[in-house]
Structure formats: C-alpha cells, structure tokens
Amino acid sequence: MIAWLIRLTTLLGDAEWQIRLVPLCCLSLTGLFLYGLARDLFGGAVAERALWIFLLSPLAQMGFSLATPDAPLILGWAATIYFAQKAVFGGDSRWYYAAGIAAGFAVLAKYTAVLLLPGLLAALLCARRRELRRFELYAAIGMAMIMFVPVLIWNAGHDWSSFRFQLGHGLASTKVFNPATFLEYWGSQAIGLNPVFFLAFLYLLARRLPETLRDDRQSLLLWPCLITLAFFGYAALFKRAEGNWAAPAHVTGIVLLAKWLDRPQFFRIYKAGIALGVILILILKIPELFDFLPRQLVMKRLVVGYDQMFAVGGRYVTPATAVIAGDYKLASLACYYLPGHPTVRVATPARVSQYDYWRTENDFSADSEVIFFGDYRQAAYLTTLFREVEPLPALTWHDRNISREIAVYRCRSLLVTNDPSSDFPPSRSDFGPSR
C-alpha cells in the first residue's frame, strides 16, 4: 500500500516533498478519524484532548515525515474503528461495510492489521454480543478478506515467502526469555506515546479495568489496544520487537486515555504530558537546540546527509556503469539520489527484500564496470564475484550528531553467474559463487 500511495503522489514528479505527502496525508487523516471517534463516543472535550495527545506524541510526529508502511496502516486502523463504532452505536449497521473496506486497506498496508479482527470481536463479545448476529459484520469481514486475496495469490506463487519472513522476523523460533528485549519494547512504547501519558494509561487502566470492560464504548477501544500491545509484548519476551510494531494500539489507547483524564483531579497529568510532548517534539525536529543530547537520541541522524553523499557518489557512475549495493536501504537511496536514477541491485548476502524478486538475470556482461556502495566488511565477498575489486574514496558525512561512511569499490571482470531461482527465499546474489 505504501508503494501504491507513493506512486499516486509522484505521478507528476518524484521530489522528496511529493513522496512525503503520503505520510503527511495519512497521519492527518488519522488525526481526523481519531478526533471523530472520540467526539462520537465521549463528546467534544474528550475529542480535543485526544487530538492534542496524538499530535504531540513522538509516534505521530515521526509518522508525519517517514514514508513507511506504518502510515497507511495506522490510517486504516483508525478508520476501521471509527466506522465500526458508527455501526455499533450509530444505529446503522451499514457502516460495517465502510469498516470492512478500511480494514482491507489496513491489511494491504501491513500484516499487523490482522489483529483488528480479534480486537473488535473480543470487544463485541464482551459488551455487545447482539452485534455478532448481524449479517453486515460478517459481510465486512468478507470484504476485507477479498481485498487481501491478491496478497494470498502472490504468496501462493512464491512459497508463502512474505508470511514466512514475517513469522521469522517477528517471532523467535527458540523461546528463551530475554529481559533486555522485553524492557526495550515497553520503553519504546512509553517514548513513542509520551512517557507521562503512557504511565498514566497503565495506572488508570489498572484502576479502571472492571469499569472499562463493562462499558461497551470503552470496551470497543480497549480490546484492539490490549491485544496488540500484548501480542508484541509476548514476542518481545524472547526476541527484539521494533517499537513501531505496536503503534496502532495507541490509536484507541489515546482516546481511552483522553476519556480517563477528563476529570479535574487528572488535569495536572494532562498538562504535564502536553508540556513534555512539546519538549519531545522540539528534540525530534530541532535537536540542534539541545547540545547535551547523546547522539543516539537524535533521530535526524538516521535520514540526513544521504542526498549529498550520493551526489558525490555520482562521479563514479556513468550511463554504462552497473551499480550494486550492500543492502536494500542503500540500494534504494542510491537509486533515488544518484544522478539519472540508475537501476541498483543488491548483490551481497543481505536480509531478504523485494530486490531479490526484481532480480532476474544479469543485465551486464563480464567486462562491465560495476560500482559497489556498501560496507567495508563486504569487500571480501566482492572478491568472490569479481576478479578486480578496487577501493575508491568513501562517501562521508560528518557533523556533531552523525559520522557516516559508505564504502565504494570499482569492480571488473565478473567471475561466474548463478541461476537466480536456485535459492528460496532468495538470500544470495544471482551472480557470483554460491555460499
């Protein structure tokens, strides 16, 4: 879904601002759905607080600018809950059809959206069982499943590779308790939402859980949140879970928190959270104001500098040059920022990605000149692919927060080619000796 949306916004050009229109629009619409959800369930005052909590969370602010699958996922998630509550509490079950379409959109964005189904069904089973007898509910589930059929068809023809990858990527094959990954997961949830608001959510959840489970409106928000947090929390017991994986849980969690904070005795907590949110946003957006920050907390270090680095790297690339990279991230950056947007391959052993499926056969001959962008440690592997591997001046970027180098090698005299379908999932080069 993220790829299709980026294609939509770049029909008339591929400038960075056009690419970043996708997360900007997705998160803006998410805010509108979140506001509408809180307003419909609990009134305007709660809706206003929920919107402020959302907008001042690091989760939302990073989402506004990063074009990742999480942006359309969170939008589809928020839209699904919004339409579902209109069907349940608005007296018109036809809204379930809109919820089904939104859920299909979400699951095309990221597989995490499958957790919507148990979340919503648990909420209805807990507080609104009569809804489980409605035809429209099951029709909506069917609509979402039909939208997912292209994914099933592709996987059926590719040995179910994306399903196998996600299971292996997200769940540990060997269950050995790892307290470090478990604490890291909950710490990332606290930072992503806002530490004040996250701790307030846990405290008020413990205090108000029985009441929340009895209230059908609050229950509809609680179950998708708890199931998502618990699912990835369980995974984090044994293996590192990325902080953004559970991001959709906070959509309904924020609305619940705004409802719980809607009392005079909790107003100080709300104001403290808003104040901390402003500080966190300044740290994210303008880290230059905070010289004392350790480098690891400067998020901008992850994205800045690549445009200028590959602008320099363009001096090594001609129209006749083949370009390869050490992993899918560098391949994408090289393709976008190098002059002329050349085709870039991932030729060295790396995490499986779409580049493995774009790779079909070599489009250059044994005497072609090849430029490699990657890591110095990959030089040894390059020597198994090419007879000549010549180091070139690296691409560098240095400032107070960033010290980055991309190794560059000129390679000639390709040694041997492999059948690209010899390994599945494809994790090796489709040229060079097997490993």
Q: Which domain holds residue 348?
A: 302-414
Q: Are residues 350 and 219 in the same domain?
A: no
pLDDT at 319: 87
Distance CA(345)–CA(322), nearest Å, equals 9
Q: Are residues 186 and 265 in the same domain?
A: yes
Of 108, 129, 58, 117, residue with least CA distance to 281: 58
pLDDT at 428: 38
Q: Which residues are CB-contacts of 354 (< 8 A; sequence separation ≥ 6)?
A: 328
Evaluate whether residue 424 is within a structural domain: no
Evaluate whether residue 428 is within a structural domain: no
Q: Are residues 319 and 277 in the same domain?
A: no
Sign of CA dihedral 136, 138, 139, 145: positive
Bridge partners of residue 372, in order along the sequence: 324, 409
Model's pTM, two decimal places?
Answer: 0.90
Evaluate whether residue 343 is within a structural domain: yes
Evaluate whether residue 12 is within a structural domain: yes
pLDDT along the chain (435 residues), means of 10: 95 92 96 97 96 95 90 97 96 94 97 95 91 95 96 91 84 85 95 96 94 93 96 93 93 97 94 95 83 74 87 92 92 93 85 77 69 93 91 90 89 69 40 35
pLDDT at 348: 77
Evaluate whether residue 421 is within a structural domain: no
Q: Are residues 17 and 118 in the same domain?
A: yes
Q: Are residues 269 and 307 in the same domain?
A: no
State the CB neighbour count (10 A cutoff) for residue 434: 11
Number of structural domains in the chain: 2
Q: Are residues 260 and 389 in the same domain?
A: no
Evaluate whether residue 422 is within a structural domain: no
Asked which of 256, 285, 314 is the last residue of a domain, the reply is 285
Q: Are residues 263 and 350 in the same domain?
A: no
Q: Which residues are CB-contacts of 97 (< 8 A; sequence separation ≥ 6)?
A: 136, 139, 140, 143
Name the pairing type of β-strands 322-325 and 370-374. Answer: parallel
pLDDT at 364: 61
Distance CA(60)–CA(24), nearest Å, equals 10
Q: Are residues 167 and 214 in the same domain?
A: yes
Sheet holding 386-398, edge to edge: 344-346, 322-325, 370-374, 403-414, 386-398
